[in-house]
Amino acid sequence: MAGHMTPEEFRRYGRQVVDWIADYQEKIESYPVLSQAGPGEVLNALPASPPEKGEGFDAVLADLDRVIMPGITHWQHPGFFAYFPANASGPAILGDLLSAGLGVQGMLWATSPACTELETRTIDWLAELLDLPGRFRSDGTGGGVIQDSASSAALVAILAALHRADGGAAGRDGITRRHTLYISSQTHSSLEKAAKIAGIGAANVRVVDVDPATLAMDPAHLDALLTEDTAAGALPVMVCATIGTTSTTAVDPVPAIGEVCRRHGVWLHVDAAYAGVAAVCPEFRWVNDGLAGYADSYSTNPHKWLLTNFDCNAMWVADRGPLIGALSILPEYLRNQATTSGEVIDYRDWQIPLGRRFRALKLWSVIRWYGAEGLREHVRTGVRLARDLASWIDADPGFELLTPHPFGLVCFRPRWDGMPDEEADAATLRLMERLNASGALYLTHTKVGGRVLLRMAIGSPATRDKHVREAWRRIREEAAG
Ligand SMILES: *Cc1c(COP(=O)(O)O)cnc(C)c1O
């Protein structure tokens, strides 16, 4: 029977694992970007039952190559242009390894003071790097916290907003009257999901109109819906504005939306999951417009475009009172002197679960390794490559380009001259399938105004000019048939 892995064994296998990852980084371009595995292929290659006797770690590494790798889609491949990027980086991987090595559960300050205090410092650093408002700093009325995802941040924001809107009544008695949430057709699906989880109900999610050209939320329609709902006896809980929507990176007018929220006394959450980190560059600080004056909560994902391995969402609130009011429960077994003294932060009160990983280690590692300069360079590279691609698309009469494209995402489609819309959309999807099956690149699609568009999101750390050039060459060639 195998006992615990000894430090000596760990040293040996650990070196093998680190070598394995470094080899993977070196040869990543030799894999097809999109996994070619069919449903059940990986599952059926795995034994149905667990081993009775322990096995050597060599056996795991052998199966990693044999069984697991064929079922991997290579998110770090320079030809990965699907969804949004999920950046990994050396310092983040090592930071996460250290977190695993320490095996800390950071639910309370007292369960590892460094886990809490490094997070406080690091999230304040990130607020400074992005030039976020002073209210979001931990020495102000609010503060930041690392969540697992923007979806969790949205749910936490709704719960805090609910607490502020009804003075804690829903948390105590359950929701006893109609509560409403305001989004647009372009808002991420996690908001509707959060409304269902929070008990607001999908039927009480109000969809605000968007400008058909820019896909930005219409503040006048928001105002009208809020007035109508309040008159009908509903309690508006929260409005979610988005900076850089998932479909096309559309930008909602936060200052105008914030003005409406203030007038109606409604919580404003700003979801900048993908695009918010662009504010590391001074030329992108406009993404913060309206945050200082109006946002009650804000979230962005270093795990998308800021070189920090999944999972790492950064969430800030302007006032931590309603957040802690909504989520704090202190059972006897968690009582401790530090918590009672009020001198420390217990981040369990800022999130849904009790337990929490030491995620600050990887973000701290990333910020120290790259510095502000390196982070800016990464964002600028993605934006520059996206602009190059957009200029080639724009110059090609066979293609149509969606504008604006302020960040690293470019949306476009072949014109398929003379084809009826429905056939053209089907042809665009078939083109995408052929490109993805080639293994050289991976694109996804969206729909705007009922029409299919291809999405090409540039921002993988490995993507260089030649990869974007090659992708465009293939797209043109495939479209020409
Ligand atoms: C990706 C995305 C989300 C969801 O992010 P997770 O961290 O995966 O939950 C939410 N909102 C927007 C605008 C996004 O682009």
pLDDT digits 0-9 by tens, 98-154: 999 999 999 999 999 999 999 999 999 999 999 999 999 999 899 999 999 999 999
Matching residue, tokens 């020409």: 480
**Smallest CA separation from ligand 1 atom 5, residue:** 150
Task: Tell whether ligand 1 has an atom less than 6 A from the beta carbon of residue 148.
Answer: no
Task: Tell whether ligand 1 has an atom less than 6 A from the beta carbon of residue 147.
Answer: no
What are the structural domains of the chain?
1-26+43-69 (no CATH), 104-357 (3.40.640.10), 371-480 (3.90.1150.10)
* Rounded Cα gap, residues 356 and 359, in angstroms: 8
Pick from 152, 305, 196: nearest CA to 243: 305
Atom of ligand 1 lying closest to residue 242 CA: 13
Task: Tell whether ligand 1 has an atom less than 6 A from the beta carbon of residue 151.
Answer: yes
Name the more confident of 267 and 337. 267
Task: Tell whether ligand 1 has an atom less than 6 A from the beta carbon of residue 351.
Answer: no
3-class secondary structure, 182: strand
CB atoms within 10 A of CB 355: 10
Q: What percent of the chain has pLDDT over 70?
A: 100
- Alpha carbon separation from 55 to 2, 14, 20, 59, 60 (Å, rounded): 7, 16, 19, 7, 8
pLDDT given at position 350? 97
Look up residue 303 and give its amino acid: H
What separation in Å is there between the alpha carbon of 396 and the centre of ligand 1? 32
What separation in Å is there between the alpha carbon of 52 and the centre of ligand 1? 41
The secondary structure of 360-384 as a DSSP string is HHHHHHHHHHHHHHHHHHHHHHHHH
Cis omega (within 30 of 0) on the bond before 404? yes
Q: Is the pTM of this model over 0.75?
A: yes
Q: Which of 188, 303, 315, 446 to mutate to test the pocket of ligand 1 (most atoms within 8 A of CB)?
A: 188
Determine the average pLDDT of the residues in 228-232.
98
Task: Tell whether ligand 1 has an atom less than 6 A from the beta carbon of residue 76.
Answer: no
Look up residue 178 and give its amino acid: R
pLDDT digits (tens, 9 = 90+) for 396-421: 999 999 999 999 999 999 999 999 99
Q: Which of 75, 83, 151 to mutate to test the pocket of ligand 1 (most atoms within 8 A of CB)?
A: 151
Identify the weakest region by mean pLDDT among 55-69, 283-297, 330-344, 371-385: 330-344
Determine the average pLDDT of the residues in 449-471.
97
With contact defined as beta carbons under 8 Å apart, do 278 and 379 qualify? yes
* Rounded Cα gap, residues 106 and 354, in angstroms: 9
Q: What is the mean pLDDT of the chain?
A: 96
Atom of ligand 1 lying closest to residue 151 CA: 9
**Smallest CA separation from ligand 1 atom 8, residue:** 149
Look up residue 373 and give its amino acid: E
Pick from 266, 302, 276, 346: nearest CA to 87: 302
Q: Which of 246, 297, 298, 359 to mutate to test the pocket of ligand 1 (most atoms within 8 A of CB)?
A: 246
Q: Which of 274, 297, 444 to mutate to test the pocket of ligand 1 (most atoms within 8 A of CB)?
A: 274
What separation in Å is there between the alpha carbon of 234 and the centre of ligand 1? 28
3-class secondary structure, 17: helix
| Beta strands 313-317; 399-401: pairing state | unpaired
What separation in Å is there between the alpha carbon of 54 and the centre of ligand 1? 39
DSSP state of 442: B
Indicate the angle between helix axes 189-198 and 150-166, nearest 10 degrees. Answer: 50
Determine the average pLDDT of the residues in 229-250.
98
Task: Tell whether ligand 1 has an atom less than 6 A from the beta carbon of residue 184.
Answer: no
Determine the average pLDDT of the residues in 37-50.
97
pLDDT digits (tens, 9 = 90+) for 367-395: 999 999 999 999 999 999 999 999 999 99
Query: Which residues have CB under 8 Å from 205's CB, separation 6+?
Result: 180, 181, 182, 183, 191, 192, 195
pLDDT given at position 15? 98
pLDDT of 1 > 60? The answer is: no
Determine the average pLDDT of the residues in 49-77.
96
